[in-house]
Chain A
Amino acid sequence: MTVRLRVNGIDRELDVDPETPLLWALRDALGLTGTKYGCGEALCGACTVHLDGEVVRSCVTPVRRAAGKQVTTIEGLSPDGSHPLQRAWVELGVPQCGFCQAGQIMSAAALLAKKPKPTDAEIDRSLSGNLCRCGTYLRIRAAVKKAAGEP
């Protein structure tokens, strides 16, 4: 069966089982490997992408739910890595191993799109679904604030 969706601004047609999680459609069928598999149960957030601007965990989102919608992955967040979050992440040296960071940034990007000046509590809430085993949380918090132009 064919599923039509728009990924990072490009129309795509995928010949996959409509129940396939969006994560594996992105990674295996489209070669967009920036979105990561971490748990398969929406517990870690490594697979976070945007569906029409909303945060979804792509590991539990059947690709049929993305039909006719706009999917944004880390590869499409900005044309050249210049999103304020991407810049802040590099400037503050947030990543350690880096594996969870695409998901962290995608969660934070959805937050900033709605709340350009989030409070600490709003940052905590929006990112509590994204695990980091290396323990970069404090720099993540600082980088979100930096990207938002907050002290």
Chain B
Amino acid sequence: MSESLRVVRRSFLVGLGIAVGGLALGSFARAEEPGGPGAKGTAGDGLRPNVFVHVAPDGLVTIVCARSEMGQGVRSTLPALIADELGADMARVKIVQADGDKAYGDQNTDGSRSVRMDFARLRRTGAAARMMLVTAAARRWKVPAATLTARDHAVFHDATKRSLGFGELANDAAKVPVPAKEAITLRPLSELKTVGRELPLVDGADIVTGRAAFGADVRLPGMLTAVIARPPVVGGKVARHDPSKALAVKGVKRVVALPAPKPPFAFQPVGGLAVVAEDTWSAMRGRKLLEIAWEGGDNAGYDSPSYRAKLEAAVRAGGRVVRDLGDVDEALAGAKRTVEAVYHAPNLVHAPMEPPVAVAKADARSCEVWASTQNPQSARAAVAKALGLDEGAVTVHVTLLGGGFGRKSKPDYVVEAALLAREMGAPVRVQWTREDDIRHDYYHSVSAQRLVAGLDGAGKIVAWQHRTAFPPIASIFDGATYAAPGQLAQGVLDVPLSIPNVRAENCEARAHTRIGWLRSVANIYHAFAVQSFLDELAHARRMDPADHLLEVFGPPRTWSPADLGVAELPNYGQPLDEYPIDTARHRRVLERVTSLSGWRGRAAAKRALGLAVHRSFLAYVAVVVAVVKDAAGKIRVDEAWIVADCGLVVNLERVRSQLEGAVVFGLSHALYGEITMKGGATEQSNFRDFRLMRLHEAPRRIHVEVVESDAPPSGVGEPGVPPVAPALTNALFALTGTRVRELPVVRTLAV
């Protein structure tokens, strides 16, 4: 194909809104599209045992990916798992990205839940199709189904060396009753070819050629672009404005006022004024020329330094008891010595490389959306509510996400696009600028924690008191000032401590900005404080930090809620008997990471090592970070080791890449990451002042080990992050003697 033809053809397809880049060529489908798995079956068009799988008479197998791809590899993993259970050849499988629809079950792609929640469920979708194909073949050959096997896209009767392709069987199989959930037989794990393997990266070729379609790449005929001026303070609104200069910009069509939200803010857009233009640059220029006087509202007094002081006062004063074992007051009173420390971690912003973006087309009766969203069902519900439509009248297509990290599970930006599309009577793309992203995020909580330990005459730890204060996630939904148990079960309630007297308290903290969940959530600050404090105690007790951690975890055993001192333990939504807290697994990752990193011989090296171990999202992760000081006195991270026990692993290659990425993500925040508020408004605005780790600052090497495990699959995307910050600051203490108790490190040391 000639160069010019290629480009023309591409523009043509994109212009029709069909192609939406390479992704759409074979991977977008609407539920009603003929041939898509969601479609209603008609005789002769193949087998549709459920909404995930379609086997066409020509042998093409279509498999739906119902979770959003944001780099964690779901599109390379989940369809392959279904195909594996079915016995399909991936070379003859088309992957289709699901729209938001309850028919697919949970689609919310956060909480590191895709494989751990979907492993059995998705296997059943492939197994049902396999069983129906096998039954059809058994009927045709008049042999017992048990004598047949499905593999390589066909059903085989090995005794007679006969086989029939899936396509040849598809229409007959469609007449076989769909097996009930209880009747579905899964393959033995040993038969699965995807488990524990390195699977190909489905979208790799499209990404490296620029064909992959992200949210901002969707183009519809007549599409307008909106850039929105939002109130700098959450809950604020436009007092008065003059749009004349903005309207004078060539290409600007209108300035549209968006409704101010009412608390609780939840997933509502924050309001403001939208500049709607024919193209992005005109919209951006128009917004710059808008003259707006803002009203600050209730949160205009929010300043980070005074808020920090308030949080620190709260953790000195005490709060609601959330974990209680023995008698901490008495044990502390009788202790020979106490050790105390207060830790502080700042607000953080998600800053996915692709700022939030959505495209919508709407009329009085319906709305169709293309969005870079982690949760298309919640986007669908939010759009339906905002437009006063039934959910059935709203379609949400999911593009590739240019990063998510939790930000894109809140559909405020999708609602903005829907409101503006209806108002304009034309398709509208809402493009957040980087400044919008940094200034109007659902921020990771700022926090303060105070830890106190009591040591007896022999130096043994007899008491542990942990107080934590942070504006909770629930604040966006109901104004909560205390954390829900689910957030406290991220590093406060669930830490096994072989200490006789333990108490944890949650102190009140009112939110003055929108709080959201950021990759690994409350584990970030809780693991930082707990793993730092354990390192402090190791030094206070003159013990090796690794030996000290092993002593605190105690012997290999499972811990009940009663052992932890809690009435019940939210366990990332999964039962404790299937996913217990098991110190054998803490110990194992610790022992592996110290062995790999040369921990025991570290004194001889010219660099310093730090260690941390943390369980989150049901995975056990240990990290060692090595730091060095250069001739100019500047500190850098030299090398890192991360060992994870994630239970059963499907796509080992993407698990490793997630863990590598988690090290960089964790280091970046710990070293430089900070969002501060003044007068209720975010002080940072772009990568100039929200600093991220760059290539030359990344470690020379990151060693990843995923331990083999018989346990059921845990989360993967998030659990690599929490131990990174304390491993770093523990290493910094070993290198410099300075204990970093406030993040980011750059506040204390030259990095």
Question: Inside 8 A of A77's CB, which chain B residues have their CB?
Answer: 209
Query: Which residue from chain B places its CB closest to the CB of A129 in the assembled complex?
Result: B694
- A135 close to B662 (CB less than 8 A): yes
Quick one: which of B15, B214, B352 contacts A133, CB cutoff 8 A? B352
Residues facing B in A40-71 (CB within 8 A) are 40-41, 43-44, 46
- A136 close to B208 (CB less than 8 A): no
Q: Chain A CB within 10 Å — which of B281, B284, B401 has the most?
A: B281
Given A127-B695, A135-B661, verify A33-B210 contact (CB < 8 Å): yes
Question: Inside 8 A of A73's CB, which chain B residues have their CB?
Answer: 210
Nearest CB of chain A from residue B410's CB, rounded to whole Å: 18
Residues facing B in A76-120 (CB within 8 A) are 76-79, 81, 85-86, 89-90, 93, 95-102, 105
What 0/1 pattern do residues 689 to 710 of B give for CB contact below 8 A with A? 0001111101101100000000
Question: Inside 8 A of B211's CB, which chain A residues have their CB?
Answer: 34, 75
Given A81-B209, A95-B71, A97-B352, verify A20-B281 contact (CB < 8 Å): yes
Question: Inside 8 A of B687's CB, which chain A residues have their CB?
Answer: 39, 41, 43-44, 131
Query: Which residue from chain B places its CB closest to the CB of A105 in the assembled complex?
Result: B208
Q: Is the CB of B676 closer than 8 A to any CB of chain A?
A: no
- B205 close to A81 (CB less than 8 A): yes
Quick one: which of A75, A76, A105, A133 contacts B403, CB cutoff 8 A? A133
Question: Inside 8 A of B654's CB, which chain A residues have their CB?
Answer: 93
- B434 close to A10 (CB less than 8 A): no
Q: Chain A CB within 10 Å — which of B400, B402, B701 has the most?
A: B402
- B210 close to A93 (CB less than 8 A): no
Query: Which residue from chain A places its CB closest to the CB of B668 in the assembled complex?
Result: A135
- Looking at chain B's contact residues, is the secondary structure mostly helix, strand, loop, or mixed? mixed
Q: Is the CB of B279 closer than 8 A to any CB of chain A?
A: yes
Q: Is the CB of B191 closer than 8 A to any CB of chain A?
A: no
Within the assembled complex, what's the spacing in Å between the Cα atoms of A70 and B214? 26
Given A133-B353, A134-B403, verify A96-B661 contact (CB < 8 Å): yes
- B279 close to A29 (CB less than 8 A): yes
Question: Inside 8 A of A85's CB, which chain B residues have their CB?
Answer: 208
Given A21-B281, A131-B687, verify A38-B353 contact (CB < 8 Å): yes
Q: Is the CB of B72 closer than 8 A to any CB of chain A?
A: yes
- A33 close to B353 (CB less than 8 A): no
Question: Inside 8 A of B70's CB, which chain A residues have their CB?
Answer: 97
Nearest CB of chain A from residue B517's CB, rounded to whole Å: 16
- A98 close to B695 (CB less than 8 A): no
Within the assembled complex, what's the spacing in Å between the Cα atoms of A78 and B209? 8
What 0/1 pattern do residues 325 to 363 of B give for CB contact below 8 A with A? 000000000000000000000000001111100000000
Query: Which residue from chain B places its CB closest to the CB of A80 in the assembled complex?
Result: B209
Q: How large, as a class, is the contact surface on chain A?
A: 35 or more
Nearest CB of chain B from residue A42's CB, rounded to whole Å: 10
Q: Is the CB of B10 closer than 8 A to any CB of chain A?
A: yes
Nearest CB of chain B from residue A81's CB, rounded to whole Å: 4
Within the assembled complex, what's the spacing in Å between the Cα atoms of A17 and B250? 9
Question: Inside 8 A of B702's CB, which chain A residues have their CB?
Answer: 138
Given A21-B281, A81-B209, A135-B660, verify A128-B351 contact (CB < 8 Å): no
Query: Which residue from chain B places its CB closest to the CB of A100 in the assembled complex?
Result: B353
Within the assembled complex, what's the spacing in Å between the Cα atoms of A77 and B250? 33
- B205 close to A136 (CB less than 8 A): no
- B351 close to A133 (CB less than 8 A): yes
Q: Is the CB of B149 closer than 8 A to any CB of chain A?
A: no
Quick one: which of B225, B433, B660, B692 contacts A131, CB cutoff 8 A? B692
Nearest CB of chain B from residue A64's CB, rounded to whole Å: 13
Within the assembled complex, what's the spacing in Å between the Cα atoms of A93 and B69? 15
- B696 close to A99 (CB less than 8 A): no
Given A40-B434, A90-B208, A98-B400, verify A133-B698 contact (CB < 8 Å): no
- B686 close to A33 (CB less than 8 A): no
- A99 close to B434 (CB less than 8 A): no
- A33 close to B213 (CB less than 8 A): yes
Q: Chain A CB within 10 Å — which of B210, B219, B280 has the most?
A: B210
- B204 close to A89 (CB less than 8 A): yes
Within the assembled complex, what's the spacing in Å between the Cα atoms of A138 and B642? 14
Q: Is the CB of A5 closer than 8 A to any CB of chain B?
A: no
- A41 close to B434 (CB less than 8 A): yes
Question: Inside 8 A of A33's CB, which chain B residues have their CB?
Answer: 14, 21, 210, 213, 216-217, 219
Quick one: which of B204, B400, B688 contacts A97, CB cutoff 8 A? B400
Question: Inside 8 A of A78's CB, which chain B residues have their CB?
Answer: 209
Within the assembled complex, what's the spacing in Å between the Cα atoms of A101 and B210? 9
Q: Is the CB of B663 closer than 8 A to any CB of chain A?
A: yes
Within the assembled complex, what's the spacing in Å between the Cα atoms of A125 and B696? 7
Question: Inside 8 A of B7's CB, which chain A residues have their CB?
Answer: 8, 10, 30, 32, 75
Question: Inside 8 A of B688's CB, which chain A residues have their CB?
Answer: 41, 43
Query: Which residue from chain B places its CB closest to the CB of A34 in the assembled complex?
Result: B210
Given A24-B281, A29-B279, verify A75-B209 contact (CB < 8 Å): yes
Q: Is the CB of A145 closer than 8 A to any CB of chain B?
A: no
Quick one: which of B3, B280, B281, B657 contacts A79, CB cutoff 8 A? B3
Q: Chain B CB within 10 Å — which of A46, A99, A141 has the most?
A: A99
Query: Which residue from chain B places its CB closest to the CB of A138 in the assembled complex?
Result: B702
Residues facing A in B262-285 (CB within 8 A) are 279-281, 284
- B208 close to A93 (CB less than 8 A): no
- A137 close to B664 (CB less than 8 A): yes
Question: Inside 8 A of B71's CB, which chain A residues have their CB?
Answer: 95-98, 134
Quick one: which of A44, A89, A93, A99 contacts B657, CB cutoff 8 A? A93
- A98 close to B664 (CB less than 8 A): no
Query: Which residue from chain B places its CB closest to the CB of A37 in the assembled complex?
Result: B216
- B11 close to A39 (CB less than 8 A): no
Question: Inside 8 A of A90's CB, which chain B residues have their CB?
Answer: 201, 204-205, 208
Question: Inside 8 A of B434's CB, which chain A residues have their CB?
Answer: 38-41, 43-44
Nearest CB of chain A from residue B76's CB, rounded to whole Å: 9
Within the assembled complex, what's the spacing in Å between the Cα atoms of A133 and B721? 13
Within the assembled complex, what's the spacing in Å between the Cα atoms of A29 and B208? 22
Within the assembled complex, what's the spacing in Å between the Cα atoms of A29 and B15? 11
Within the assembled complex, what's the spacing in Å between the Cα atoms of A88 and B692? 25
Q: Is the CB of B484 closer than 8 A to any CB of chain A?
A: no
Given A81-B209, A125-B696, verify A31-B663 contact (CB < 8 Å): no
Within the assembled complex, what's the spacing in Å between the Cα atoms of A125 and B279? 34
Question: Inside 8 A of B672's CB, which chain A residues have their CB?
Answer: none
- B214 close to A34 (CB less than 8 A): no
- A130 close to B207 (CB less than 8 A): no
Question: Inside 8 A of A28's CB, which chain B residues have their CB?
Answer: 225, 279-281
Quick one: which of A9, A29, A99 contacts B214, CB cutoff 8 A? A99
Query: Which residue from chain B places its CB closest to the CB of A9 in the assembled complex?
Result: B3
- B695 close to A124 (CB less than 8 A): yes
Within the assembled complex, what's the spacing in Å between the Cα atoms of A30 and B355? 21
What 0/1 pattern do residues 15 to 26 of B give for CB contact below 8 A with A? 100000100000
A–B complex contacts, Cβ < 8 Å, 14 sampled? A8-B3, A10-B4, A24-B281, A28-B280, A36-B214, A40-B686, A43-B434, A75-B210, A97-B353, A97-B402, A101-B207, A128-B696, A129-B694, A135-B662
Binding site for A on B (CB under 8 A): 3-4, 7, 10-11, 14-15, 21, 69-73, 201, 203-205, 207-214, 216-217, 219, 225, 250, 279-281, 284, 351-355, 400-405, 431, 433-435, 653-654, 657-658, 660-665, 668, 686-688, 692-696, 698-699, 701-702
Contacts A36-B214, A136-B660 known; 16 new A-B pairs at CB < 8 A: A32-B7, A39-B434, A40-B434, A43-B434, A44-B687, A75-B211, A81-B205, A86-B209, A95-B71, A97-B71, A99-B402, A101-B208, A127-B696, A135-B665, A136-B664, A138-B699
The 6 closest A-B pairs by CB, nearest first: A34-B210, A135-B664, A99-B402, A96-B71, A97-B71, A98-B207
Binding site for B on A (CB under 8 A): 8-10, 17, 20-21, 24, 27-41, 43-44, 46, 73-79, 81, 85-86, 89-90, 93, 95-102, 105, 123-125, 127-141
